[in-house]
Amino acid sequence: MQELRFDDIRFTVAASSDQTWLRRALGGHELSVQLAVGVSPFDEAGKILTLEADLFGFGTTPAQRSRLGRTTANLAYTPLVTVHRVNLVFPLTSLQVHAIEEARTGDVRFEVDLNATLPQAAGYPGCAQATEHITITKSTWEQQIAQLGPSAAFEMAVPYPLGNPQRAEAGRLLREAQRLLTTGEIRASVLEVRRALEWIQHNVDWDRPGSKKLASQCTQTERWWRIQEALYSQTSGAMHNDAVTKDFTYDRAEAETLLAMTAALLRNVPATVPQTDTGPCP
Q: What pLDDT is recorded for position 281? A: 47
In a domain, 282, yes or no: no
CB 192 within 8 A of CB 179: no
Residue 35 has pLDDT above 80, yes or no: yes
Q: Do 179 and 221 fall within a single domain?
A: yes
pLDDT for 82-120, tens place per residue?
888 999 999 998 888 888 888 888 899 999 999 998 888
The pLDDT score that the predictor gives to residue 272 is 56
Q: What is the pLDDT of residue 190?
A: 92
* Percentage with pLDDT > 90 across the chain: 35
Burial 60-71 (b: 16+ CB within 10 A, else e): eeeeebeebbeb
Q: 214 is in which domain, residue-wise?
A: 165-266
Dist CA 161 CA 167 (whole Å): 6
Do 144 and 241 fall into the same domain? no
Which tens digit of pLDDT belongs to each residue from 52-87?
Answer: 999 999 887 767 889 999 999 998 887 778 888 999
- pLDDT level of residue 44 (50, 70, 90 thresholds): low
Q: Could you give the C-alpha distances from 270 to 163, 195, 219, 267, 275, in angstroms and in order? A: 12, 18, 18, 8, 11
| pLDDT above 70 coverage of the chain, percent | 84
Q: Could you tell me if 180 and 146 lie in one domain?
A: no
Per the structure, the count of domains in the chain is: 2
**Which pTM value belongs to this model?**
0.60
Instruction: Categorize the per-residue pLDDT at 279 as very low, low, confident or very high, splitting at 50, 70 and 90.
Output: very low
Whether residues 33 and 130 fall in one domain: yes
Q: Are residues 142 and 221 in the same domain?
A: no
Same domain, 131 and 175: no
Per-chain mean pLDDT for the chain: 83
For position 142, what pLDDT does the model report?
A: 86
CA atoms within 13 A of residue 63's CA, in its CB half-sphere? 0
